Structure 1
Amino acid sequence: MTIRYPNGKKFIPKQNDPKQKTTSSAKKAQDLLQFSNRGKRLEDEIDESNAFYLERGIAVIHKKPVPIQIVKVAYPSRSAAVIQEAYFRTPSTTDYNGVYKGHYIDFDAKETKNKTSFPLQNVHEHQVIHMKQATAQRGICFLFVSFSTLERFFILPFQVLESAWENMHRGERKSIPLSVFEEQAFEIKESYAPRLDYLKAVDELLLKQ
């Protein structure tokens, strides 16, 4: 199936790096025992956290559905239909939104393998505009950033992202150093259930604001 953005550009999903595949089945088994959840995608982890919060009445936060317009369908049999081409109707804003302690929460999940900084090319301008508009309405906006190689997770307030974004457009650096995350963001400490209890970091953000 081919999916395209509103401007007609082909959507290419992220692919796993074949170099990351381990060659030892014994090592795989050992890794699974020691790090049972660490192979999951960031969004899967967040979805599990959100389900945990919802079941316990802590927060109502969901992944936003992305509207898709189907333009080409094949019917290999009478009982089956295969979508061959589709378009995103509108550019996506952020990944998640909801309500927590009476606050509107809006954030995007980002991953990087970089060990020293977060590349701003991972963020789209329409996302920055959206978060700026939501913040103007007193919404709580941030990036949920995973430094996957380091196994470190942060809540980066929109104000920090906005400052770095404006600096980039003035010709300054095109990334946010890890040191800025350590100084101005809120680190998510791994726990048992859910593993990424990110609302604890959001609590710190709310107290600061």
Structure 2
Amino acid sequence: MRYPNGSRKRADTTSIDRSSSTKSYSNRGMTLEEDINAANTYYVTHNLASVHKKPTPVQIVNVDYPKRSAAVIKEAYFKQASTTDYNGVYKGYHVDFEAKETRNKTSFPLSNIHDHQINHMEQVTNHHGLSFIIIRFSPLEETYLLESKYVLEFWASKEKGGRKSIPHAFIKKYGYDIPFHFQARVDYLKAVDKVLAKLEEDDYV
């Protein structure tokens, strides 16, 4: 797959690893993306929320037709940079988030996030949408929801020469733990409910 400038898309070794089908997350062998997709299917099926993964728009430029009934894409380009992985509606709120998986145990590298994603998070936040990232520390088998406002703060600090990662201890303190559930897998709406409760409490105060 190529971008419009002709460069190939490089594998993002710090984000979700789709190559390891035997990844052990409590011996379930599921990636974070697969778990979230399964949760979203459960939410839609039970009319709890409408959240979906955003497709990446591509432009197909070379197709081979080995058979009349079959077509093989030989070359395609990403038409534009993506924003974040998921968006949708929950309890009347626009929810917009990115899913990231890391093998680090002590911190989440900010190199996992790109400039256009930061800009998008900032825009969603400015328009009072619910923007966050879901982070999985694979070796620790821990998954957290961290509001984008904290990500933006660490990013701004990094741009000024500060640290290039978010400490695990910070995420554990200010994020929301997402336990595994059989039906929803990564039942992140429970964490979103805690964010909403905090927002309502702040408004009340």
Q: Structure 2 length as normaliser, TM-score? A: 0.88
Unmatched 5+ stretches in structure 1:
23-30
2:45 paired with 1:74? no
C-alpha separation in 2, matches of 1:119 and 1:198:
22
**Letter of the structure 2 residue corresponding to residue 10 of structure 1:** R
Query: How far is the alpha carbon of 1:21 from its aligned partner?
Result: 7.2
Maintained 8 Å contact 1:6/1:91: no
Task: Name the SS of the counterpart of 1:61 in structure 2.
Answer: strand
2:83 paired with 1:103? no
Residue aligning to 1:4: 2
Q: Deviations over 1:10-43 (max 9, x none)?
A: 11445636xx979xxxxxxxx89x73xx211111
**Letter of the structure 1 residue corresponding to residue 161 of structure 2:** G
Counterparts of 1:1-209 in structure 2, within 5 Å, are 3-13=1-11, 16=19, 35=27, 38-209=28-199
C-alpha separation in 2, matches of 1:182 and 1:155:
9
Tell me whether 71-80 or 174-183 shows the greater mean CA deviation. Answer: 71-80
**Following superposition, which runs of at least 4 residues in structure 1 exceed 3 angstroms of deviation?**
12-17
**Letter of the structure 1 residue corresponding to residue 156 of structure 2:** E
**Letter of the structure 2 residue corresponding to residue 199 of structure 1:** L
For these two proteins, the number of residue pairs brought into alignment is 194
Residue aligning to 2:14: none
Task: Name the SS of the counterpart of 2:139 in structure 1.
Answer: coil
Query: How far is the alpha carbon of 1:74 from its aligned partner?
Result: 1.5
Maintained 8 Å contact 2:22/2:30: no
The alignment yields a C-alpha RMSD, in angstroms, of 2.0
Task: Name the SS of the counterpart of 1:4 in structure 2.
Answer: coil
Query: How far is the alpha carbon of 1:80 from its aligned partner?
Result: 2.0
Maintained 8 Å contact 2:63/2:73: yes
C-alpha separation in 2, matches of 1:92 and 1:185:
25
Q: Deviations over 1:140-197 (max 9, x none)?
A: 0000111111110000100000000001001011000001101111110122221211
* Change in CA separation of 1:171 and 1:148 when aligned onto 2, cut-off 3 Å: same
Maintained 8 Å contact 1:45/1:195: yes
Query: How far is the alpha carbon of 1:6 from its aligned partner?
Result: 3.3
C-alpha separation in 2, matches of 1:5 and 1:142:
27
Q: Deviations over 1:116-154 (max 9, x none)?
A: 000000000100101111111110000011111111000
**Letter of the structure 2 residue corresponding to residue 5 of structure 1:** Y
Residue aligning to 1:26: none
Maintained 8 Å contact 2:18/2:31: no
